[in-house]
Structure 1
Amino acid sequence: MPKLYQAMGLALLVAVTQTSCSSAKLATAQADAPKTENTEKAKPASKGGLKSYEEVITRNAVSDQGVFTVHKVGDKYYYEIPDSLLQRDFLWISRFANLPSGLGGGYVNAGSSVNEQMVEWQKLGDKLLLKTKSYNAYAADSLPISLSVKANNYQPTLYAFDIAALSKDSSGYVIDVTKFFQSDIKAFSGLDSDMRKEYKVSKLDDSRSFIHSVKSFPLNIEVKQDFTYDAAEPPSHSATGAISLMMNQSMVLLPEVPMQPRINDHRVGYFNINQIDYGSEALKADEKSYIRRWRLVPKDIEAYKRGELVEPVKPIVYYLDPATPEKLRPYIKAGVEQWNEAFESAGFKNAIIAKDPPSPEEDPDFSPEDARYSIIRYVASTTRNAMGPSVSDPRSGEIIESDIIWYHNHLRSYRNRYLLETGAANPSARTLDTPLDDLGEMMKEVITHEVGHALGLPHNMKASAAYPTDSLRSAEFTQKNGIAATIMDYARYNYVAQPGDKGVRFVRQLGPYDHYVINWGYRYLPDAKSPEQEVPTLSKWIEENTGNPVYQFGSGSGGYDPESQTEGIGDDVVKASTYGLANLKRVAPNLYAWTAAQTNDYDDLEELYGELLGVWSRYIGHVVTNVGGVREDRLKPSQQGYVYTPVSSKKQAESLNWLLQNAFSSPEWLNQTEISRNIHHANQVENVRNLQVRHLNNLLSADRMARLMENEVKGVNYNALDMVRDLQHGIWSEVYNGQKVDIYRRNLQKAYLDRVNYLLNEEPARGRSSRYGTPVDLSQSDIRSVLRGELVKLQSQLKRSQSRYANDLTRYHVDDAIVRIDNILNPKKS
C-alpha cells in the first residue's frame, strides 16, 4: 500500500485530529490492496442453512482487502462485511465514469455526480439490508421524541441480500452483490426519468451489461458498471438504438464522530444542509441549517489563539489532472492557491495547496479517480463552462472531497467576452490571438471562482454593487480592490472603463468579501463546544459590518433586486450600462477588422457578433430590473433598516426613459455593412426584434406590474399606471409626433399589442403566480384596468393620426394596429 495512502488513512482514523475521511471517487485500476488467493480446502456447510465460508469463498477467489473485503469468485462478486460496520453511516455517490457524447445536453461529463445518499447496512434475520438514511428529520437519541422521529420517518430499503456465509471468525457476513450491481436500480442509475423519456429508453440489456471492476480501499469501495440500454432515440450513434455508459458507485465510510457543524446565517453566503430538529424546546420543530465547509483544525491551537498564522492538521489539496496542458498548469495552481490570502484572514497559512500529478515513477497508483485526491479535472468537451462541485457529510456539512471541472473550450468564451466588453479601452483585447498571460489571468480567476464553490461559497451577486460605478475607471482603485467585492460574483470584466482610462484592471480578482466570508466560515473557535456556542461570535462579526455594502450577500435569485444581478458591476446600473453600451458602439465598427480581416474566415465574426447582441441584452436587462425594483438587505430585527426597500420613483422613471432611448429605439449602430452582408442573408431585423421583445415582455410582466402597483402603499410615486403611460408613449412616439415608423419600431409596436393582449385576454385570470413567486390575480388587480384604459387612449390617437401618413408602410401599419386593438378590446368568443 502506498505510503501516502497509509498516512492519510491513519490521519483520518485518529479521532483527536478531527480530520475528514476522503470521499470516494471514480476508481480505475489503481491503489489496489494486495490480492490473496484462498487455498484452503472447502469445509462442510454450517448449520442453519448457511454454507461454510470455504464453500462460498473458494480457493479460486481473488480477494481485495479494504473497508469491506471484496472477493471475486469466477463471475461473482462477494462483500465480506464486518459486524462492527453494521449501522455505520456511509455516503453513497453515483457518478458517470464514461458516457456517450451529448448525454444530458452536453452539461454532463465523466465525473459528474448523479446522486448522493447516506446509507447503512442492517441485519434482519438471514438477510443484510442496504437502507437509505436521512438526517433531514432529527432528534437526539437521549430524547423520548427520537422514537417518534424514527417511527414517522421510516427509510426505504434499497436492496435485500441473502447472507451466503459467515466470515471465518464469525465476526462478519458474506453476501453476493453480483445481481445487485448488474441490475438497473433507479436509486443508483445514471439515467433519470427525463433522460429515459427523451431518449425513449425501454430497458437495460442484460446481455450487454456487466460489472467492470470492484475495488476496495480502507475507507471506500469503488464499483464500475458497464450498462447498455435499448433506446429508440439515443443522444449519439443513433443507428445503434442503444445507450452505453459506465457508472461508478462509490461507498464511503463516514467518520464515526461527525465534525462539529457551524450554524448557517442567511446574511453570509454558504451552501448549507438542512435538518428538522424535533428535540427543540420551541412550540414547533426547529429547522436547523449548517454550512458546508472543509474541516480545518490548527496544528498548534495555542499559537492560533495568540493570533499567529498556523498550518492546518490536514490542508486542502488539489491535484491537477494529468490531461491538463503544461502551459496552463501554472495559472490553474495559482487560481487554487490564491485562496490562501483569504485563509490567512482566518488564521491559517498554507491551508490550500495545488500540486502537479505525480509521475508513474513517483506514484504508480495515482489516478484522478482515486478517493485520496481532489482533482482539477480537464475535460475534453466542447462545452463552455467550468464547475466546482463537492461532496459533503449530510450530518455535519463537512466537505470531504471535491473535483473542479474545467471544460476545454471554456477559454474561448472568456476571450470573446474580453474582446467585446473591454476592447474599446483595452488594446490587448482587440484580437482573436489573446496573449497567453491575459488568458492565463482569466483562467486563474475562473479557477479561483470554482474553488470558491468547492469551499462552500455560492454566488454573491450583490457584491458587484458594492463599489461606486465611476471608481471602476480608476487604476488605483481597481488594482487594489478589483471590480467587485468578491470573486464569487459574476463580475467577469470591467466594461465600465472607457478609452483613456489608463492602468485600470479589466479582469476580476479576489476581493474583501472573500476574506470576510472565509474568516466567518473557517475561523476555528476552540472555546465553543457546540454549534450554538459559536453563534454570538459569528453574529457579532456580521453586525459589525451592518450597512457596509462590501460585506453584504445576495444570491441574485428573485429577479427584483437591481443590486443583485448576474454580470453587473458598479452601484448604478443605469450609469454602468451607459458606459458599457458606449464601449459596444466603439467595438461594433471594428469587429470585422479584428476578426474576419485577420483570419480570412467569417466564422469568428459571426460568433462574436451574436455574442455582442447578448452583451447588449445584458446591459438592457440590468436596467429593466430597476423598474418595479426592490432592494433586499438581509437583516435581523436587531439591526436597523428594512429588509425590502423599493427603488426610488426618480430612479425608476430614469430607467424607463433610458430603456426607451437605448433598448427600444432603432439600433442603427448594429447595422454594420461588413458584418450584416457577410454572415447572414436576412436575420438582422429578426435578431433585433427578438432581443427587444424579450425585454418588453419582461417589463410588462405580471409580477413586475404587481410590485409597481404596491408602490402606491409604500410611498413611492411611480406606479404601474406611470410605467405603462411612459412606455406606451415612448414606444408609439411616432404616432404622437406624426413621424414615419421604421421596420424596427413597427415590429416593436406589434409586439407591444401582443403583450397587452396576452395580459388582458390570455393570462389565466385566477391562481396565477409569476415565476418569481409574486402572487398575481389579474381578474382583481388594477393591472388590467390600467392596460385597458391606456389601450383605448392609444387607439384614439392612432385614429386621429391615420390621415397624416403618406408613407404606405406606416399607414398600413397604423390601420392594422387599430384593427388589432379592436380585437383585443372586443375578443371574439370561441
Structure 2
Amino acid sequence: MRKWIVWYVILLLILSCALPVEAIARKKKKVQVEKKELSKYDKLFQGKHVTSSAGEFVTLHRVNGKVYMEYPLKYMGREILLASTITTSTNGLVCTNGYKENKPMHLRVTADSSALFFHQVNALMNVDITKEKLLEVKQQNFEDPKWMRYDILTYSPDSSSVVIDMTNLFMDSEKALSPLPTKHRGLEIQATMNEELSSILEVKAFKDNASVKSQLVYRYSLLNQNSYKVIDNQPLTLVATRTLLLLPENKMKPRRSDLRLGTFLTSKREFTEKGEMLRYTYANRWDLQPRDIEAYRRGELVEPIKPIVFYLDTLFPASWMQPIRDGISRWNQAFEKIGFKNVVLVRDFPSDDPDFDPDNLKYSCIRYIPQATENAMGPSWVDPETGEILNASVFVYNNVIDMLRDWRFVQTAQVDESVRGKELPESVFNESLAYVIAHEIGHCLGLMHNMAASHAYPVDSLRSVSFTRTYGTTPSIMDYARFNYVAQTGDKGVRLTPPNLGVYDEFAIRWLYTPIYNASPEEEDRILEQWIDEKAGDPRYRFGRQQILSRYDPSAIEEDLGDDAVKSSEYGIQNLKYILSNLESWIKDDEDFTCRQKLYQQILVQYYRYIRNVIYNIGGIYLSDAKEESGIKRVAPVEKALQKASMRWIMTQLHDMAWLNERNLLKKITLSSLPSLDLTKAIGDVLANSYWKVALASMWSDDPYTLSDYFDDLYWGVWDSAITGRRLTREDQVLHQVFLKQMEENVRAIGGNPLWLFGNDQKIDMQKVYAPLEYDLCAYGLESGSENVFTRNFGFGYGWQPMVNTKMIHDTPVYYLEHLRRVRELLETKMDSFPSAEKDYYEMILYAVKQILGKQSRTK
C-alpha cells in the first residue's frame, strides 16, 4: 500500500513538471503562428539590392535595376517640369553634353485609388480665375490631357505617399524625353536602343527636385537628304540625367510683352465673358525681387532674394575663365541702374559639393563643348504658366577661338597690328571672348537678337575716336554687329569693339526687371507701354527682329555696321584689299598653309557679306512695329535713289573682282576654281532672284523703283562689256550664263503655259527665292539643315514677316522677254566691232538668245 502511495506521489510530481513544459511549448508555437506578415511596401525591397534617396519633394529607390518613386499625396495637382539632359557620351561630335535636346515637359500629377497619372498641362489657355463660369468653360474644353499612367504598387509606411514603378520613363521609352539629337550637321540621326545593355545608374532626391541618371546604349546611323546612310549602325553610349522639378505654388507675376522690345516669349490665349479669344505673350524673365523692399524704394542698391547664379565649367582652358567671368558679370551694370546689386553671380563648378550636378535642371551653367564648331549659344527654359526663366545655360564650343581670330583679322587687321598673326594676343582674345559671352548671357536673361541696332549709327561716326569710345559700334550687343570694319588704316585710337552694354541693352533690362508696385496688371501694362512710347523714333532703341527665311528689311540684318550699307561696305572692301595684299607677309610659321587658307576663305566670306548687305537694299522694305500716333511707317520701301545706287555699286564690284584671286596664295593651297568666279555666280543668283522683292516694294511705294527700272539697270550692268566695248572677262561670262538661265526659265513659262500667271506648272520655284543660298549659310552663320533656316515665324511668338506670294503682282517674264530682245539687238548691232578673240563667244551668246526667244511660241 505504501509503495503504491509512493509511486502515486512520484507520478504526480512528474506530471506537475511536464505540464508547464508543454504549456511553454504551446505558447511558443502560438507566437510563431501570430507573427506579423511583411507589408506590400516591405516586400518591394525585401532581399533586393536597394539604393534610396529621400528629399522633401519625393523619395527615389533604385531596386535591382528598377526605379521606384514615392510621390507624396500632398503634391497631387501640383505642376512639375520633367527635363532630359545629356551628361556624357562616347561621341561628343554627335551629342552635346549638358544640352537638352527637347523642351522640358510641363506636367501635373493626379491619382485615383489604383493609379497615378501625369497630365500635360495646357498652359496656353488663360482665364480669369475669379470667374466661375470661365473656369467651367476651361475645364470642359481645355482640360489637361493624360500623358502617362502608373499603377500604384503600395503606399509608404505612413500612408503619405504612393509608390510607383517609373523605370520606363528613365530608359528612353518616351520620344519627348529622349536625350539623343535627331539631327547632326544636316544629317538625320536614326538610332535603336539596346535595352539589355542599358541601365539605371543613380537616383538622387532634393528639396524640390529629383534626378535619375541612366546609361543608354544605342546603334545609330546618319542619313543624308536622299536617305543614304553616310554612317551606318555605329555604337553610341550616353548617360542621360532626367530631372523632375516641382514648380512653385506662388507663381511669379508675369509681364506682358511689347512687340517693340526684343524679348523671348511665352504665348497665351485667353477667352473672356464677352466671347473674345485674346492672343498675347509674356516676356520671359527671371523672378527678381529685392531682399529689402523699403530700402529699394528709398533708392538704395539692394540684393535680390534669388540672384541669378551661373556655374562655370572647370574644363575650360584656364586662360578662358576670367574673360568668361567678365562677360557674365558685366550685366550687373544694367541691374545697378534699376536698383539691384549682385544680381548675376558666377561660381566655378564646386568640387566639394556632392549634391551639385550641372545636368540637374536647378543649375544654370557655362559649359565647355569640345567640338569643332565656331560658335556659342545661350538657351533657356521657363515655367510655361508665367514665362519665369528657371534655367539658362551657355554652351561655348572649342573652336570659338578660331572664330574670334578670324573676325578680328578680317575686320580690324587694317588698323590693329596686334591681330596680324596666327593667334590673337591674350588681351584681344579676352576682350573678344567676353563680348561673345555677354551676348549669350543676354539671351539667358530673356533678350532676343536685335538686328536693327547697328543701323542706328552713322557710318562715319564709326571712324570717330570720341564717338566709338563712348558708344562702341552699336547700341546693342544683341545685334550681330561684330567689330569695326569701317575703321580705316589711319584711324588710330578708334574703338574696334561693341560696347560692354549698349543703351538698348540697359533699357531692355530696365523694362524687363524693374519692379512696379501698387499697380494692377492693366496699370502695369500701361506704365511699361509708356516707357517704350518715350523711346519711339529714337533709332538707338528700335528693335528689329532677326530675319531668316524671308529677308525684306535691309536695316535689320546680321554682320553689318552703320546706316548706309553702300558706304560701310565700300570702307570694308578697301580694308580687305589692304589685308589680302599683306596676308602672306603677316602670317608666319604656317608651313602647311592651313592658317593662310582659312584666313583667305574668311576674306572671301567677309567680301560676300559686304555685297549681300547692299543687295538687300534692292527691293528692300523697312518694317517697324509702331503705333499710328508715332508717325513711324510700319511698311516703308527703300527709296528709289538708294536702290538704283545700290545696283550701280554692285555692278561695279562685279566688274572688279579679279583682286580676290591672289594667285601666289592659290597655288599653295587646296585646288579650287577662281574665287571671283564662284562669287560672281553667287551674287548673280541673288540679283537674278531679286525681281520678286522689287515687284513687292514697288507696289507699296509712292515713287517706286519698278521692275522696268530693275531690268534696265540689269541690262546696262550685266552686258556692260558688250555695250562699252570693255575687254571681256571670265567673270562677265559667268554673269551672262546666270542671267541667260534665269531668262530661259521665265520665257519658257510663257510659251509653255498661256495662263502662266496662275499656272501650277511654272518652272520657277517660288520657295527657292526665299531660301538662303549656301553662301548665306556660311556668311551669316545659318547652319545648314537647321530648322530655323526654314521657320516662317522665327522668334517664337512674334511671328516675323512670312512669305508673300508675288506671283499675282509681277509680270517678270514680260521683262525678261524684252531684255532678251534688247540683248539680241545689241549683239547683232555690235558683232563686227568685237575683238576677234571675243567674237566666237558673243556669237554663241547670240545663238543662245535666239534659241530662247524661239521657244516663246512653243508648247511643251
TM-score (norm 2): 0.85
Residues 1:777 and 1:391: Cα distance change in structure 2 (over 3 Å): closer
Question: Of the candidates 699, 704, 714, which is equivalent to residue 727 of structure 1?
Answer: 714
Shift of 1:371: 4.7
Are residue 606 (structure 1) and residue 583 (structure 2) matched? no
Instruction: Determine the structure 2 residue equivalent to 1:797.
Output: 826
Shift of 1:295: 0.9
Shift of 1:676: 1.5
Distance 1:75 1:755 in 2: 64
Are residue 146 (structure 1) and residue 138 (structure 2) matched? no
Instruction: Determine the structure 2 residue equivalent to 1:231.
Output: 220
Instruction: Determine the structure 2 residue equivalent to 1:776.
Output: 805
Instruction: Determine the structure 2 residue equivalent to 1:736.
Output: 723
**1:309-334 deviations in Å (ceiling 9; x for gaps):** 22212211212111122222211111
Question: Of the candidates 189, 204, 211, which is equivalent to residue 193 of structure 2?
Answer: 204
**Where in structure 2 are the equivalents of 1:428-577 lying within 5 Å?**
428-509=418-499, 510-530=501-521, 532-557=522-547, 558-577=550-569
Instruction: Determine the structure 2 residue equivalent to 1:718.
Output: 705
Aligned residues: 773
Distance 2:287 2:355 in 1: 26
**1:57-80 deviations in Å (ceiling 9; x for gaps):** 437533211221011222222001
Distance 2:825 2:87 in 1: 66
Distance 1:740 1:585 in 2: 23
- The answer (yes or no) to whether the contact 1:561–1:625 under 8 Å persists in 2 is yes
- The answer (yes or no) to whether the contact 2:241–2:359 under 8 Å persists in 1 is no
CA radius of gyration, larger in:
2
Shift of 1:815: 2.3
Distance 2:240 2:592 in 1: 42
- Residue 708 of structure 2 aligns to a residue in which SS? helix
Deviates more, 1:602-611 or 1:174-183: 174-183
Instruction: Determine the structure 1 residue equivalent to 2:782.
Output: none
Instruction: Determine the structure 2 residue equivalent to 1:298.
Output: 290
Q: Which amino acid aligns with 2:310?
A: Y
Shift of 1:183: 4.8
Instruction: Determine the structure 2 residue equivalent to 1:822.
Output: 850
**Where in structure 2 are the equivalents of 1:649-798 lying within 5 Å?**
649-662=640-653, 664-684=654-674, 687-701=675-689, 705-708=692-695, 710-711=697-698, 714-761=701-748, 766=759, 768=766, 771=770, 773-778=802-807, 781-798=810-827
Deviates more, 1:618-627 or 1:399-408: 399-408
Question: Of the candidates 254, 262, 267, which is equivalent to residue 274 of structure 1?
Answer: 267
Residues 1:280 and 1:378: Cα distance change in structure 2 (over 3 Å): farther
Are residue 417 (structure 1) and residue 420 (structure 2) matched? no
Are residue 314 (structure 1) and residue 306 (structure 2) matched? yes
Q: Which amino acid aligns with 1:131?
A: H
- The answer (yes or no) to whether the contact 1:227–1:244 under 8 Å persists in 2 is yes
**1:559-609 deviations in Å (ceiling 9; x for gaps):** 2212111011111111110100110010011111122x4323311111111
Residues 1:776 and 1:823: Cα distance change in structure 2 (over 3 Å): farther
- Residue 453 of structure 2 aligns to a residue in which SS? helix
Deviates more, 1:504-513 or 1:152-161: 152-161
Distance 2:676 2:655 in 1: 10
- The answer (yes or no) to whether the contact 1:740–1:805 under 8 Å persists in 2 is no
- The answer (yes or no) to whether the contact 1:573–1:623 under 8 Å persists in 2 is yes
- The answer (yes or no) to whether the contact 2:86–2:359 under 8 Å persists in 1 is no
Deviates more, 1:258-267 or 1:230-239: 230-239
**1:702-728 deviations in Å (ceiling 9; x for gaps):** 6x5344454255212421210111122
Residues 1:560 and 1:202: Cα distance change in structure 2 (over 3 Å): closer
- The answer (yes or no) to whether the contact 2:98–2:359 under 8 Å persists in 1 is no
- The answer (yes or no) to whether the contact 2:134–2:273 under 8 Å persists in 1 is no
Deviates more, 1:769-778 or 1:85-94: 769-778
- Residue 208 of structure 1 aligns to a residue in which SS? coil
Instruction: Determine the structure 1 residue equivalent to 2:5.
Output: none
- Residue 449 of structure 1 aligns to a residue in which SS? helix
Instruction: Determine the structure 1 residue equivalent to 2:841.
Output: 813
Question: Of the candidates 623, 626, 630, which is equivalent to residue 635 of structure 1?
Answer: 626
Instruction: Determine the structure 1 residue equivalent to 2:25.
Output: none
Instruction: Determine the structure 2 residue equivalent to 1:182.
Output: 171
- The answer (yes or no) to whether the contact 2:101–2:178 under 8 Å persists in 1 is no
Deviates more, 1:363-372 or 1:161-170: 363-372
Shift of 1:380: 1.7
Are residue 286 (structure 1) and residue 314 (structure 2) matched? no
TM-score (norm 1): 0.88
Q: Which amino acid aligns with 2:206?
A: F
- Residue 461 of structure 1 aligns to a residue in which SS? coil
- The answer (yes or no) to whether the contact 1:294–1:400 under 8 Å persists in 2 is yes
Deviates more, 1:449-458 or 1:472-481: 472-481
Distance 1:118 1:766 in 2: 46
Q: Which amino acid aligns with 1:58?
A: Q
- The answer (yes or no) to whether the contact 2:414–2:575 under 8 Å persists in 1 is yes
Shift of 1:249: 1.7
Residues 1:368 and 1:43: Cα distance change in structure 2 (over 3 Å): farther
- The answer (yes or no) to whether the contact 1:93–1:113 under 8 Å persists in 2 is no
- The answer (yes or no) to whether the contact 1:318–1:374 under 8 Å persists in 2 is yes
Shift of 1:268: 0.7
Shift of 1:420: 1.1
Residues 1:821 and 1:97: Cα distance change in structure 2 (over 3 Å): farther
Instruction: Determine the structure 2 residue equivalent to 1:68.
Output: 58
Distance 2:63 2:350 in 1: 34
Deviates more, 1:111-120 or 1:188-197: 188-197
Shift of 1:273: 0.4
Are residue 247 (structure 1) and residue 235 (structure 2) matched? no
- Residue 691 of structure 1 aligns to a residue in which SS? helix
Distance 2:609 2:510 in 1: 33
Distance 2:578 2:152 in 1: 74
- The answer (yes or no) to whether the contact 1:633–1:642 under 8 Å persists in 2 is yes
Distance 2:283 2:579 in 1: 44
Distance 2:205 2:559 in 1: 45
- Residue 627 of structure 1 aligns to a residue in which SS? coil
Shift of 1:374: 1.9
Distance 1:355 1:214 in 2: 25
Deviates more, 1:408-417 or 1:225-234: 225-234
Deviates more, 1:617-626 or 1:57-66: 57-66
Distance 2:221 2:101 in 1: 25
Identity among equivalent positions (%) equals: 31
Question: Of the candidates 116, 119, 133, which is equivalent to residue 131 of structure 1?
Answer: 119
Q: Which amino acid aligns with 1:737?
A: T
Distance 1:78 1:630 in 2: 59
Deviates more, 1:92-101 or 1:819-828: 819-828
Q: Which amino acid aligns with 1:593?
A: S
Q: Which amino acid aligns with 2:845?
A: A
Structure 1 unaligned regions, length at least 5:
1-40, 46-50
Distance 1:102 1:822 in 2: 57
Distance 1:280 1:101 in 2: 55
Instruction: Determine the structure 1 residue equivalent to 2:148.
Output: 159
Instruction: Determine the structure 1 residue equivalent to 2:389.
Output: 399
Residues 1:460 and 1:126: Cα distance change in structure 2 (over 3 Å): same
